[in-house]
Chain A
């Protein structure tokens, strides 16, 4: 079937089997390989993308469900070469090590901060509980998200 949707602000049109995973549509049809596959069953969150404002696991979403949707992937976070506040915070606070969970983690954090401007640490932990990281022990990721929240508040002032 032919599906139409928007990815990172650009209109896309893809001819695909209806049950093809959104993850494969992004990675193969659109060559947006920043979205990663870690488990293929919605456990690890490496393939998290923002679909109509909500964080979803792209490995669990069939292509037919994204007709007329708006999707943000890691490639859509930076504004040109300028990193988003969350990306910058991850870079400065050691939020990325091997980097494989980073795209999903960034998207989960970005969507979360849209709804929670001044989160507590425990809220941050809950927000990224669906995104597994094996390198960092999560502390530096939580630090980065907390710092990003702080920067966003400063900007808003």
Chain B
């Protein structure tokens, strides 16, 4: 490596790329309407696919009847018997079939596939198929699942032995001793509902069969190599016979983490059987009814505190509803459980967590991945503790928040980039929390109540536990003859800015211009496996591997130049080659020279975890994450006591991201996550009836519009993480975690009633206020919240 001081005269200042708001790499294509999403692609002879799904929650298929009077000649029909390999959608477990064989485990479970040139004919054909079932009693929610497991009701056991998909126990200190030490014990139970991703582009995939027996999948997805692995298993194909290409993806939020394996399998099976390209794109109803949701959760807290407000014991129980198959439930639960104490010090902790199987469409990954559920619970519990002790919510948090050197529930010592205090103080200051709270209390009318609430939260960046160590994450760069460099990674762009930030990182590491770095379309035949695009890991983990690869390429090119031009030193700087502190040639010229004499240059680099990270999967103790992102939010709401609607007026969010690589994109991502959390807190409800999603339309499955969006202010704090690129930490999910809690805390301030459940739809808020009023009538007049 060359050092600056080896040059007798300093080089001119380097052009900063990282930390600036360069134009989004793929922005122009999106703004011109030229970006190609899966539904924009078409192939000669292409068929359209359709999925025939179960209309019951649980039972056995007794007969499938194809109307003999219907002309089936123009329709391709596939069922499980057509699958050449294993009938399984491979993820953590191999329990979910691609197509039902006999036993239906949830409503809208796929049974048959149809394909045709003519989409109207497909709809007509579907009406000529009759599936008969022998229905069984279904387990419709987690309470039923637990009850059946406890009573041993064999007819209601859908996952032996007791309907549990996975459970964990995290323990630290001496819980009994902690409770003996406690002067006050506070208990509370908190619930969060199912949440739908509502990415605006529905799920879609195109499968193209190759003459050589290969299968190419193109579609909207977050994890190209997940789909690759799933298709290999379904079709018994070797690595090189399956090619997965990501098309421009219209939002994911976790919803396109695992489900694309399923839809890819379906499209591929129809293509395999018909020998033609098949496009399978869901309409909104099918997408809402059949694809994954955020796990509904129920969390119970029992906390022992001293009178002056120190936490001394926390006994936490987390239960989640996983739906009919395992999908990612075990890891969602794990993340939820690890975060369940909150960013607070407590020496004696027990966290018991379990996720239950039910006869409902499987829950899965959704931004936050279990943490938003447990965050809502721990923040409401902190508010309840404050209420009980007569302390302000802010004061209670200041007393208990973790600082450098403190331990988490898993015994992880927080040594790097710990910013709970900084984010809390920054949010409070920017929002003028105390002043606004006093003003809100005064300006509340009899029918419109204003309230200000806060939340403090954290999110472990990267995979949980040993995940990053087990995964061979690789990313790289490739020199192009025209003098550009191409980024090679399977980390995908879905709006969050991967293309832009990765090109910034590579350009800065190489010493070339941002415009001279391009991003390769993620294609498993051309890019290395960088792991999935999930877990707030793209920037911090994959970005680090990419940065290292780009640095290696720079050194290689500089060594080549020094040899070629017999110079003691050569350095690439600001897009030029500098030899002996003089600008010699352009980077493009250097690239051409390299190609002429050496040929291609492609550098891949693997990610290695920082040293000293230790995690024990058996005991669930150790360093659960390499580092945490930290967040605090202050929300201002207006509650209408006639309609019980909540209008969120303003959110101030302080986030410690380590380093803002692209402040504009970062703010946009934080604002987007904050609004999803506002939706989760107020209007986003998925209503289940007999195991089926009732509100399976955008008209009824609401998300916030521009008129529902509060004004948002983002405060960025940069407390660098030494092992991230330029100090950056992953924060993609973080703003989702604490938003609902801040809104609910503001509702508490406005109404005096501490919410125990989200979404706080008008019906639920009315019920909570009515219940509080009747309780107060029996006891004593209610007092406004902390």
Contact = CB atoms under 8 A, between A and B. Distances in A.
Nearest to A83: B31
Contact of A75 (B29, B33, B674): B33
A96 B667 contact: no
A120 B345 CA distance: 46
Contact of A36 (B28, B201, B706, B712): B201
Contact of B697 (A41, A46, A92): A41
Contacts of B249: 98
Contacts of A98: 199-201, 249-252, 494-495
B101 interface: no
A41 B199 CA distance: 16
B269 interface: no
B246 interface: no
B172 interface: no
Most buried by A among B24, B248, B697: B24
- Label chain A's interface by main secondary structure: loop
A39 interface: yes
B40 interface: yes
Contact of A135 (B31, B35, B668, B707): B668
Interface in B240-292: 248-253, 283-284
Contacts of A128: 706
A82 to B, nearest CB: 11
A133 B40 contact: no
Interface residues of A, number: 53
A101 interface: yes
A134 interface: yes
Contacts of A4: none
B34 A44 contact: no
A30 interface: no
B33 A34 contact: yes
B719 to A, nearest CB: 24
Contacts of A130: 705
Contacts of A99: 26, 29-31, 35, 248, 250, 495
B30 A96 contact: yes
Contacts of A142: 706
A94 B30 CA distance: 12
Interface in B679-720: 697-699, 703, 705-707, 709, 711-712
A126 B675 CA distance: 17
B632 to A, nearest CB: 17
Nearest to B699: A43
Contacts of B709: 125, 137-139
Interface in A77-135: 77-78, 83, 87, 90-94, 96-103, 106, 124-126, 128-135
A94 B706 CA distance: 16
A94 B665 contact: yes
A138 B284 contact: no
A40 interface: yes
Contacts of A100: 37, 199-201, 250-251
Contacts of A39: 284, 697-698
Nearest to A17: B120
19 contacts: A35-B33, A39-B697, A44-B284, A83-B31, A87-B32, A90-B27, A93-B664, A94-B21, A96-B30, A98-B252, A98-B495, A100-B37, A100-B201, A126-B706, A130-B705, A134-B198, A137-B671, A137-B709, A139-B668
Given A99-B29, A129-B707, 7 more contacts: A87-B32, A97-B497, A103-B33, A129-B705, A133-B706, A134-B672, A137-B672
